């Protein structure tokens, strides 16, 4: 097994899902990386690079949210990677807007993308960066997460992005244990 950091942003493929709440993982990767050329790889878009001497693989599953685990399992197996080198960035409607939570060895919390990852990997022992998109309105969950981010939500996420980027950088440069001890 080799050590490559794998950072997965969760979302749904297709322009109709751009800027939806469920695609905040894709959005954070795009903001972090800027304008890069993603390449198709099995059931994901990937971008491979070196950051501070560390090999890093950024991943956007193209399986749709509810099957994200299939793409991640394939990539980990194909590259022969350790699960401790995996970070997943997801939306969380139970957290206040823009707030974040770092989780490890945690339940899916009703998030179908995370449920798929746990089921496919056979474990919940992986790092997650949860981005808050609190559901303030009385609207059903599916409509809410598939709804477009409001200007206020986008502005808050953009404002808080440096915090998320610091976590990503700490994971790349110092590993899982350092992130868990933040």
Q: Which residues are catalytic?
A: 22
155 C-beta neighbours (distance < 10 Å), count:
13
d(CA 2, CA 152): 42
**H or E segment at 114?**
helix 112-121
Instruction: Select from 15, 13, 36 the least CA-distant residue to 25.
Output: 13
Are 165 and 159 spatial neighbours (Cβ–Cβ below 8 Å)? Answer: no
d(CA 119, CA 149): 29
- Write the Ramachandran bin of 81: left for phi over 0, alpha for psi from -120 to 50, otherwise beta: beta
Order of strands, sheet of 100-104, starting from the edge strand that comes earlier in the sequence: 39-41, 44-51, 54-61, 5-9, 86-92, 127-132, 100-104
């Amino acid at each position: 097994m080799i050590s490559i950091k794998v950072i997965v942003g969760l979302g749904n493929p297709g322009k109709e899902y751009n800027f939806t709440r469920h695609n905040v993982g894709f959005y954070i990767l795009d903001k972090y990386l800027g304008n890069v050329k993603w390449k198709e790889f099995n059931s994901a878009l990937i971008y491979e690079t070196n950051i501070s001497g560390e090999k890093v693989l950024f991943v956007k599953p193209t399986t749709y949210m509810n099957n994200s685990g299939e793409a991640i399992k394939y990539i980990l197996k194909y590259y022969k990677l350790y699960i401790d080198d995996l970070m997943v960035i997801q939306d969380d409607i139970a957290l206040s807007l823009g707030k974040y939570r770092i989780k490890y060895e945690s339940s899916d919390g009703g998030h179908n993308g995370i449920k798929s990852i746990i089921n496919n990997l056979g474990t919940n022992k992986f790092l997650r960066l949860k981005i808050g998109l609190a559901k303030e309105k009385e609207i059903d969950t599916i409509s809410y997460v598939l709804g477009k981010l409001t200007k206020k939500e986008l502005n808050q996420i953009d404002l808080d992005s440096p915090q998320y980027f610091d976590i990503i950088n700490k994971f790349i440069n110092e590993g899982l244990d350092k992130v868990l001890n933040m």
